[in-house]
Amino acid sequence: MSLSTRVTWRSLQAGALRMFLPGLASFPFGIGLGVAAAQKGLSAFEVWLMSLTVFAGTSQMVALDVWAHPLPLVAIAVSVFVANLRYFVMGAALQPYLPSLRWPLQPVVWHFTVDQNWAVNIADYRRGYGDLGKFIGGGLVMSLIWSGSTLLGHLAAGGVLSDPTAAKRLGLDFVGIAVFVVVAAILFRGRRDLAPWAVAILAALAARLLLGGNWYIVVGGLAGGLFGALQDLRKAP
């Protein structure tokens, strides 16, 4: 078995240790998500299970923003799909380094392909010493921290954060905006992204005025994404 696809206890530990601090950086976002989920009526178990199985903070934030009763299933599905489009590119970037990955491990790799874990490990693979054990170990510890923080946030929403003004005083109502700003800054590729961003913003504003509700998230994301894809296709050789 090649280094790129082996999994050992030592490599799992090494991956978990190096992603512990990056995982802690997501802790306040998880608290905010847990509070928001409690306010939407989700139970503590539902919040914990969603975070453990979905493990995608941005799309979870988007889903909660669209959440209503009755559930707008189409809007939630499309919003989450758009929010997670970048994972197609990230997964494709990993494929050349894992050509012989056994099929039982493939869903594990997909699940643990999150921004920080992917960035650290893809850098190792490009240098020639990537290790799948480190990838899985890092993803596992980040998943446990994320799901645990959202559970704590939900529990706090019934205690120290039960007062709606407490979340505002602590700045947790700004968590969703902060997450999107950080993700946008990470993904910004320079001047070529300005036009797609402008299209997305204008489309979202128009949808907000004309459609109402939370459809502006879906419309803006699709418009900007499609414009960017067409722009890249025109520039491709």
Average pLDDT, the chain: 81
pLDDT in tens, 102-148: 888 889 999 999 988 988 888 888 888 889 999 999 999 999 999 99
pTM: 0.71
pLDDT in tens, 10-58: 999 999 999 998 888 888 888 888 988 988 889 999 999 999 999 988 7
> Quick one: which of 115, 114, 145 has its CA closest to 34?
145
Amino acid at 180: F
Contact 19, 37 (CB under 8 A): no
From CA 64, how far away is CA 5, in angstroms rounded? 36
pLDDT in tens, 186-232: 556 677 778 888 888 898 899 888 876 667 777 787 788 788 777 76
Residue 196, CA distances (Å) to 123, 200, 202, 223, 232 in order = 27, 6, 10, 8, 11
pLDDT score recorded for residue 53: 93
pLDDT in tens, 64-79: 888 888 888 888 888 7
Domain map (residue ranges) of the chain: 3-187, 188-237
Our measurement of the distance from residue 198's CA atom to the centroid of its chain's CA atoms, rounded to an integer in Å, reads 22
Which DSSP string corresponds to 113-167? --HHHHHHHHHHHHHT---HHHHHHHHHHHHHHHHHHHHHHHHHHTTTT-SHHHH
pLDDT in tens, 149-172: 999 999 988 766 656 566 566 665
Our measurement of the distance from residue 163's CA atom to the centroid of its chain's CA atoms, rounded to an integer in Å, reads 28
pLDDT score recorded for residue 228: 76
Name every residue whose Cβ is closer than 8 Å to that of residue 191 and which is 6 or more positions away in sequence.
Answer: none
Asked whether the predicted pLDDT for residue 236 surpasses 60, the reply is no
Burial class (CB in 10 A: 0-12, 13-18, 19+), 183: middle
From CA 220, how far away is CA 79, in angstroms rounded? 10
pLDDT score recorded for residue 1: 43
Higher pLDDT, 84 or 140: 140
